[in-house]
Amino acid sequence: MHIYRSALLRFAEDGSALYEEDGLLAVAPGADGRERVLAAGSWQALSAQLLAQAGADTVVEHLPGRIIAPGFVDMHIHYPQTDVIGSPASGLLPWLNDYTFPHESRFVDAQYAGEVAHFFVDELLRNGVTTALTFATSHPASADALFAEAQQRQMRLITGKVLQDRHSPDGVRDETEQSLIDTEALIRRWHGVDRLGYAITPRFAPTSTDAQLRGAGELAARYSDVWIQSHVAENLDEIAWVRELFPDSRSYLQVYADRGLMRERAVYAHCIHLDARDRALMHETRTAAAVSPTSNLFLASGFFDYAQADAAQMLYGLASDVGGGTSFSPFRTMLAAYFVGREGRDKQGLSLAPSHLWWQHTAGAAQALGLPGVVGNLQPGCEADFVLINPQATPLIARKTAQARNLEELLFSLIVLGDDRLIERSQIAQKLG
């Protein structure tokens, strides 16, 4: 058993934040040998009993001035776009054609993919992200490379080979039948191995034929606990293109719905330009939105409508969407979400509460991924993925956080001023024995 004493942040079932200034987190291997949270709460309430049952191998680590918090969950990121960050374009489609597709073609080289995968996972962890749902490229070896890397670190990570069999240049375009064969082979090779999960990954409706989308939907029905990930309703030019390509569909989202691609564990990035029927469909099918505010601001795509999403009881969580997104840091993403959350409210109105922003990137994201009580939280039974935050990481952050009068002020100071410098440690639940 490992007992940590520090400030402790976690989330209740209803999404509200729980915080102990003098907290205790006890971690011990579960029945499968994986490190899990055994107890979490106040030091005063829990320590006597836990220390009484401590064995000779129990370690107690006192971390004064530090905050233990759930590892962040990034609901949508592209590992092959690590080097595409900061590529300027007038909008999504030129950005894809001018920078992203040419760059992704390099991942045909398995060795290159492996090198980027290694850097990418390092960068996730340096930023406190312990679980991600990420795109690979259309090359099966790109998914193999990231799975192997994540497996070595014992991370809970979900990825999949991209499906894109049309309107894509040579070098990234795949072939309909082979792409589905490759997808199924990857599912069988990786899904459920250690902490890895597979996501069936049609890039977006414009770059897949009807046959490829239908094939993806058939696989999603056959392998009901694999994930599905794609993009929807991000950009107005993209939406006009989908309307031309699928004239019989009521909406962009309906293209996916009609092909078996909306269900639990399906995650669509952006979901900006949805209408009321789309939002109701998201809710009814328990399909989740990956809100990607730095990307939406960078590519001038628009603003996720939090008020409408909440009114429709949509599942959602936060995502970096690197490389359309501009940062791996959950702090940057939460701050961008704060700016976006203010859109459409009257000028006097506040935006989203800091604890709600934080929840969207931890327990809320885990719930949206269909992993509640597994990652993204530190309640008993959760896998013990957590970050150690140093609120004294910079002079300004130390000065500002020292003046916080309550939890919301403390979290907001970290969100507004924070970045990778706050993350002193990212701890991944290990499997022992």
Give contact residues for ligand GUN (rule: CB under 6 A). Answer: 78, 92, 96, 100, 203-204, 231, 234, 295, 321, 324
Nearer to ligand GUN, 210 or 424 (CB): 210
With contact defined as beta carbons under 8 Å apart, do 28 and 36 qualify? yes
- Shortest reach from residue 217's CB to ligand GUN, in Å: 18
Q: Does 414 bind Zn ion (CB under 5 A)?
A: no
Nearer to Zn ion, 38 or 253 (CB): 253
Nearer to ligand GUN, 272 or 363 (CB): 272
Q: Determine which residue in the list 27, 40, 233, 269 makes contact with Zn ion, applying CB under 5 A.
A: 269
Nearer to Zn ion, 234 or 385 (CB): 234
204 binds, among Zn ion, ligand GUN, none (CB under 5 to 8 A by kind): ligand GUN
234 binds, among Zn ion, ligand GUN, none (CB under 5 to 8 A by kind): ligand GUN
- Shortest reach from residue 294's CB to ligand GUN, in Å: 11
- Shortest reach from residue 96's CB to ligand GUN, in Å: 6
Nearer to ligand GUN, 67 or 143 (CB): 143
Q: Report the residue closest to ligand GUN, judged by CB.
A: 324
- Shortest reach from residue 204's CB to ligand GUN, in Å: 4
- Shortest reach from residue 200's CB to ligand GUN, in Å: 15
Q: Give the closest residue to 77 by CA, choosing from 305, 355, 369.
A: 369
Q: Give the closest residue to 336 by CA, choosing from 314, 320, 313, 316.
A: 320
Nearer to ligand GUN, 78 or 273 (CB): 78
- Shortest reach from residue 137's CB to ligand GUN, in Å: 10
